[in-house]
Amino acid sequence: MGLLEKLQTQVLTADGAMGTLLYSYGIDYCYEELNITKPEVIENIHQQYIKSGADIIQTNTYTANAIKLERYGLESSVKEFNESAIAIAKHAAAPGGQFVLGTIGGIRGIRKSEATLAEIIAALDEQAGYLLAGNPDGLLLETYYDFEELSSVVQHLRKLTDVPIISQVSMHEPGILQNGLLLNDALHQLEALGADIVGVNCRLGPHHTIQAFEDVELPSKAFLSAYPNASLLDVEDGKIVYESEADYFGRAGVLLRDQGVRLIGGCCGTTPKHIEAVKKRIADLPPIENKIVKKKKVIEIKEATPDQHEPLHEKAKKERTIIVELDTPRHLDTTAFIEGAQILNETGVDAVTMADNSLASPRISNMAMGSILKMQNNIRSLAHITCRDRNLIGLQSHLMGLDALGINEILAVTGDPTKVGDFPGATSVYDVSSLELLQLIKQLNEGISFSGKPLRKKANFSIAAAFNPNVRVLDRAVKRLEKKIECGADYFITQPVYTKEKIIEIYEATKHLETPIFIGIMPLTGIRNSEFLHHEVPGIKLSDEVLERMRATGNDKNLATAEGIAIAKELIDTAAELFNGIYIITPFTRYDMSVELIHYIQELDQQKVGDHNYVKTTN
């Protein structure tokens, strides 16, 4: 009798964690390599679970694909790891006739950039081919946080094989996936794609897993599965531990069965004792045929609070829009910064932009200064946000705070690594790249947390992304722009540009895009400043002509300032003809230089109005 036939009339018990036991043995490297180097250790764990009463065991192949093995330099070992794993499991199961599932683990977490779907399917093809050659009783897809990935994998596998497919999602919050999809809807979609058993595993312990299933309707054809963790994890003396008594886990197995689950196993923290407890509790219980679903109250997501200003990207599609960057202080005296911001605002800029500890050097928080500018001076700010300094928790908290303050214009950037800044020993976080951050901010605009949980109100962010055009092959940079647009970028802000030819090149390369682009203009203050930017700051290159002109000013500060302004005006002449968005970067809090450039742009536009030839309506 096959696996699906047995599930028609029985609630079956699967095994528990493999990694937990290996970790407890002091093994802390690629577990799949043990299929070759220590097969007896793996088989012993299989036998322990079989002895505890498991009807089903899974192969030790969770990360046995080329993408995940690459981190160990073992990507060429996919074949031997998978072939050995299924041989070990089948040998262990042969005496008792337990079912053997070939395990394929999820690859993506929050970071979609870890692998494209094409790369994932290619790795899946290779791994699944070796597992299927070993004649498993089914394929187990586990720990998939990214529903797009799991859906694609299920569809692809269904075309490759008729063996049962068990597809399991993982949730950050009970009953909802990280993209905001309800668990009930996700499982039914997986059933429609061809999965024979649908369920959940990992992240949540028994309590929250049971809670998640309360909203899940019984599938029409598929069966439900659940592999909860032993508990929420804890860390003691640097080691991961799970606090859970086996009997508690066994009682939870009964409650999962009461929710209609027919395949019950364990994930992180579970051991043969946990599986034995489940088996004893559910061995004589028939499966649930009908279920009354406990419908939870739907949380209303309110519309975003309207911004008092038109979003910058909307304005820049129609008319001249000027933003000016003014660095927040490295010290605690904010007098000059606030004075400069007030003068810029009076001059007519659309927003004052503030970097997020640029060049990895600490400054007063742009959230704090943006709040002061807004509340005390009614100045609109644009806050940069890097992925360097905050993990996902900090990023979401920071963004929620910005929304609460009404600071709705933001620039999402990856951020310079800490080693270039004042604290080279500090840690760079980078839980996500700027691409994922764009997607997550757009998710907040739908009122959905990074974890998928409803936030009760939509955010209202207008999101800029960075564009470095100072590269040899501009087409590649434009391809990245297009990818950022797909991820949610509303407009782009460039690094400073120092030649008219580059501005024209940018226009020609991006004129097919409807997304506005703000051309960066940063006036130079002297030859030392110019050479530093050219030789040491990533993403900035000056032309030989510009360097020579600044070199000719010698040590005369006034002459250098005048020449820097003159160069900037020449660049503005070209940029203002081709782009509505101008981004002025204030050097060393010299807002007087920025004010002069703003006046110059305004004069140019007034002349154009007089000529009945106002600014262009795209880019």
267 is in an annotated binding site: yes
Rounded to whole angstroms, the Cα distance separating 220 from 158 reads 18
Cα 507 to chain center, whole Å? 30
Contact 464, 486 (CB under 8 A): no
Rounded to whole angstroms, the Cα distance separating 455 from 458 reads 7
Phi-psi region of 238 (alpha: psi -120 to 50; beta: other; left: phi over 0): left
Amino acid at 257: R
Residues in the chain: 619
8-state DSSP, 237: T
DSSP H or E segment with residue 225: strand 223-227
Rounded to whole angstroms, the Cα distance separating 273 from 214 reads 26
Q: How many CB atoms lie within 10 A of CB 147?
A: 20
Residue 26's SS3 state is coil
8-state DSSP, 305: P
Phi-psi region of 133 (alpha: psi -120 to 50; beta: other; left: phi over 0): alpha
8-state DSSP, 611: T
487 is in an annotated binding site: no
From 315, 240, 616, select the one nearest 491 (Cα to Cα).
315
Token duo for residue 242: 């799970």
387 is in an annotated binding site: no
β-pair type (239-242, 233-236): antiparallel
Residue 494's SS3 state is strand
Radius of gyration from C-alpha coordinates of the chain:
29
**Cα angle: 538, vertex 542, 543; to 5 degrees:** 145
Rounded to whole angstroms, the Cα distance separating 86 from 132 reads 9
Distances (CA, A) of 569 to 400, 524, 598: 39, 11, 10
Rounded to whole angstroms, the Cα distance separating 192 from 158 reads 11
β-pair type (462-467, 491-496): parallel
Q: How many CB atoms lie within 10 A of CB 241?
A: 16
DSSP for 69-90, written as a single string: HGGGT-GGGHHHHHHHHHHHHH
Instruction: Please report which residue ranges of 198-301 form alpha helices under DSSP H.
Output: 206-213, 246-258, 272-282
8-state DSSP, 121: H
Contact 383, 403 (CB under 8 A): no
Rounded to whole angstroms, the Cα distance separating 602 from 223 reads 67
Contact 65, 107 (CB under 8 A): yes
Contact 527, 561 (CB under 8 A): no
Rounded to whole angstroms, the Cα distance separating 394 from 228 reads 27
Bind-site residues: 202, 267-268
Bind-site residues for Zn(2+): 202, 267-268
